[in-house]
Structure 1
Amino acid sequence: MRLLFLFTSLFSTIFTAAQPGSWVAQIHRTDGNNIHFTFDWKTEKGAPVWYIKNAGETIRVDNIQQTGDSLIVQMPVFESQFRVSLVNKKISGVWVKRGAEKTQALVFSAAPGNNRFTTKAVAAKNISGRWAVTFGNGENAEASVGEFVQKGSHITGTFLTATGDYRYQEGIVTKDSVLLSGFDGGHAYFFRALIADANTITGGVFYAGGTSQEKWTAVKNNNAKLSTEPAAMFVKPGQEKLNFTFKNLEGQPVSINDDRFKNKVVIIQLMGSWCPNCMDETAFLSDYYNKNKQRGIEIIALAYEYTTNWERSISSLKKFKQRFNVQYTILNTEVTVGDSLHTEKTLPQVTQIKTFPSTIIIDKKGKIRKLDTEFNGPATGAHYTVYKKDFEHTVDELLREN
């Protein structure tokens, strides 16, 4: 009993030293371009909880454990955690994220505060609106669309690309510069640039994780559009039906030809537990399925993970399933996302899978009716609303068919 009391007291002391409230966090890059985000530290039912905030998103993190004099803060979706200590009411440690081939560990710190970026300079320009954005240079340049909402110096927004959006970004406009950042456990992003005039953003640099960086520029264009060609997927000539069998999370084989999927509209979700946009699509599909499954709808998620290691993949997928209360079927293809032949090994009836998430919608006769590679997540606002409306319309039309 005394040992338990001492452990409980130490645990309580460590957490109370952290001063519940608002915190400003930094993931430290060696080049000094640190990635900022904010979170609220709360105590709920006697246990610590973090609420990570990015613009309109709040991520609840409640798996926080003590190991010796350190805390392990496990992100709820990805293979991502913070290992930190509390000293003088400040947090220091590392952010650890597992990848396909290696584990990344970056220095992490946090201090009490409310603003991810601070400035005494008043915003000289307002960049609210739609922008045609270019990432990279020359042959490697990628077209994107930036959409921002600025109120005073505070700014939120995102970048849409042919292969997915950059989710929730938040920051400030200070004099003639813009600073935006976002952290969701899977990716850590920081965008900075100069605002040359009301219609031009120049000298931009996009920092991702610990080492990646890329130049970007933008031109104001309310009619900016994206080409769907880079991510497009098609049914191969002479093919009209999928034919696959993979194991579910319990290790049991499940086939698209099983009786439970016959005479139903079936949505095939191509995803991975490592994928932030897949997280957004899964949240939508899980809610949609729970409300509509009785109408003759089934959803099958085909997972392409970082590794062929069954235990690691299943552990990540089960966490993903629990986070979004997924009631539909999730299958582990046991083919990695990095495998150059992942399409041929899993869905040889279609052309190359170029982006995750993607969806394949099958009618009640088992025929492929739509291949959709244009998912726009909730951070894209009106685009997300349009996506959901189009998805629901497609499914409704197929349900009406005999």
Structure 2
Amino acid sequence: MNIFRFLFLLSVLSIPGCRRQMPVSGNWTGTMTTGENKQIPFQFFLEPGSPGPAGYFINGPERTPIPEIQIQQDSLTFFFSEYGAAMRGTWDGSTWRGKFFRYRSDTSWNAFVATPTSEGREPAPAAIPSGLSLSGKFQVYLPGDHGTDSTTTAIFWMRHDSLFGTLIAPDGDYGLLAGTQTGSHVSLSRFTGWQAFLLELDRQDTHWTGRLAARSGKPMVFTLGAQPAVPSTQAPSSETSMKNPKAPLKFWGMTSSGRMMNSDDELLRKKVLVIDIMGTWCHNCMDAAPLLQQLYHEFGKDGLVVVGLSFEISGNPETAKKNLALFQARYGLTYPVLFCGSTDKMNVQQRLHSQLNGFSGYPTTIFTDRNSIVKRIHIGFDGPGTGEGYQHQVGQYYEIVKKLLK
């Protein structure tokens, strides 16, 4: 071939417009590389929308909306404003390649790749030998410098050819993990943008050993011990308490519309309050939001008010207003959610530790009577992925609210 003709054809083929266009509708699969070079799988779906494309991550039956999607020529970016993160990548004609950025003072990143895929049925996993099926409730044993921690539990169940499960710590669960079991090996994962987990378990003699890898940091290594009846991992309400039991919890903050509101607001007077100490970045807070909205919708006419006190990763008020608005729209929240500053230690000390003994994390839900006296404090939240634990918790919240409204 004439050298000039060859160079001309090569230049034409290299023009971006000659490459396969990036599909903006359909399913994608990909992997993210952890700090220890493990591959965390993920799936998502994109569809055209107005004013821009929409999409969600897929974890078994769960669908987690992608907050913001931006497409500019061959560039595709997912923004996670609440978490202070983004997935930025470029389409090369067959693959979306890029980096997941976690924006902090020590910004970190993880490489990822993803490709469009069809919804074709995956081959069934190999048959599981009798007696090896990972199903039921387990105690999780975490070795440490000060002995073995056994405050976490786990639950697993099979549905068709898939395996599902989660770990349940005292402050809430890790979210629904989905995957498969092949013989004596189990691989489960979860990816929502702000969450990225790979759980691998192997049967050794009479017990299971596990490794939970996240986006960064060392994997959590543990063993499972089966128990016929696992006690609730919910931390006792006495672990967090008011320093002055006769004093109301004082709070103040800004709504997503910019209105300032505090605990003496006319809207809250002589009301039974459910005060949710949370953050728009917090997975367990996301799981709790629909239940709190359900309670507010059902009992608001009887004198119940739900208030969210949101402590954000960013202390910027404009960013916070945006994050609160996204959070409220995603879960259809009609109760007020207040920006109470950042998760900075000094801010949390001033607003929470000064009034509460043993405040340990998000969410912490406080129930008060009509005189603003704290009657119950619930630590953490077990989401729908915990099955019976979630249903028990829903019943518990209803029972507390009904009793306070009498």
Shorter chain as denominator, the TM-score bin is: 0.7 to 0.9
Distance, in Å, in 2 between the alignment partners of 1:329 and 1:58 is 25
Distance 1:309 1:394 in 2: 35
8 Å CA contact 2:84, 2:314 repeated in 1: no
Q: Does 1:105 align with 2:109?
A: yes
Which secondary structure does the structure 2 equivalent of 1:109 belong to? strand
Q: Which has the larger radius of gyration?
A: 2
The aligned counterpart of 1:41 is 46
CA contact (8 A) 1:163 1:373 kept: yes
Q: 1:349 aligns with which of 355, 372, 376?
A: 355
Q: Structure 1: how far apart are the matches of 2:269 and 2:137? A: 44
State yes or no: 1:53 paired with 2:76.
no
Whether 1:270 and 2:274 are equivalent positions in the alignment is no
Find 2:79's aligned residue among 64, 74, 78.
74
Amino acid at match of 1:92: R
Report the Cα distance in structure 2 between the residues aligned to 1:55 and 1:68, rounded to whole angstroms. 31
Aligned to 1:7: none
Letter aligned with residue 56 of structure 1: P
> How far apart are the structure 1 equivalents of 2:303 and 2:181?
49
Aligned-residue offset at 1:341: 6.6
Between the aligned partners of 2:202 and 2:43, the Cα distance in structure 1 is 24
**CA distances 1:185-212 after superposition (whole Å, capped 9, x unpaired):** 2211111121125x5112x211111334
1:3 corresponds to? none
Give 1:14 shift: 8.4
Structure 1 residues 291 and 132 mapped into 2: Cα distance closer, same or farther (>3 Å)?
same
Residue equivalent to 1:177: 185
1:154 aligns with 2:159: no
Q: Which of residues 358, 361, 374 in structure 1 aligns to 2:364?
A: 358
Asked if the contact 2:278/2:364 (under 8 Å) is kept, the reply is yes
CA offset at residue 397 of structure 1? 1.1
Match of 2:317 among 310, 313, 316: 310
- Decide which moves more: 208-217 or 18-27: 18-27
| SS class of match (2:401) | helix
Name the CA shift for 1:152/1:250 in 2 (closer, same or farther; >3 Å): closer
TM superposition score normalised by structure 1: 0.86
- For residue 215 of structure 2, what is the aligned residue in structure 1? 209
User: For structure 1, which segment, 71-80 or 147-156, has the greater mean C-alpha deviation from structure 2 after superposition?
Assistant: 71-80
Contact conserved, 2:139 with 2:224, CA < 8 A, in 1?
yes
The residue that corresponds to 1:243 in the other structure is 250
Deviates more, 1:227-236 or 1:289-298: 227-236
Fraction of identical pairs, as percent: 22
1-side partners of 2:141 and 2:27: how far apart? 35
- Deviation for aligned residue 1:51: 2.9
Q: Which amino acid aligns with 2:286?
A: M
| Worse overlay, 36-45 or 213-222 | 36-45
Query: Matches of 1:11 and 1:46 in 2, distance apart?
Result: 25
Distance 1:293 1:87 in 2: 53
Partner of 1:93: 98
One-letter amino acid of the counterpart of residue 283, structure 2 = P
- One-letter amino acid of the counterpart of residue 403, structure 2: E
The aligned counterpart of 2:298 is 291
- Structure 1 residue 314: Cα displacement: 2.8
Offset from partner CA, 1:121-154 (integer Å, 9 cap, x none):
4433201100101234342754311100124652
Q: Secondary structure at the match of 1:304?
A: strand
Q: Does 1:218 align with 2:224?
A: yes
Residues 309 and 42 from structure 1, CA distance in 2 versus in 1: closer, same or farther, beyond 3 angstroms? Answer: closer
Aligned to 1:27: 32
Comparing 163-172 and 65-74, the one that deviates more: 65-74
Q: State which drifts further: 276-285 or 67-76.
A: 67-76
Q: Distance in 2 between matches of 1:286 and 1:169?
A: 25
| Runs of 5+ consecutive residues of structure 1 not aligned to the other structure | 1-9
- Aligned 8 A contact 1:163 1:231 in 2: no
Give the 3 Å change call, closer, same or farther, for CA 166–63 of structure 1 in structure 2: same
Structure 2 unaligned blocks of 5 or more:
1-14
> What secondary structure does 2:241 align onto?
coil
Q: Does 1:339 align with 2:345?
A: yes
User: Structure 1 residue 374: deviation in Å?
Assistant: 4.2
**Equivalent residue for 1:367?**
373
- Range 267-276 or range 57-66, more displaced: 57-66
Q: Per-residue deviation at 1:398?
A: 1.0
The answer to whether the Cα contact below 8 Å between 1:191 and 1:207 also exists between their aligned partners in 2 is yes
**Superposed displacement of residue 119, structure 1:** 8.5
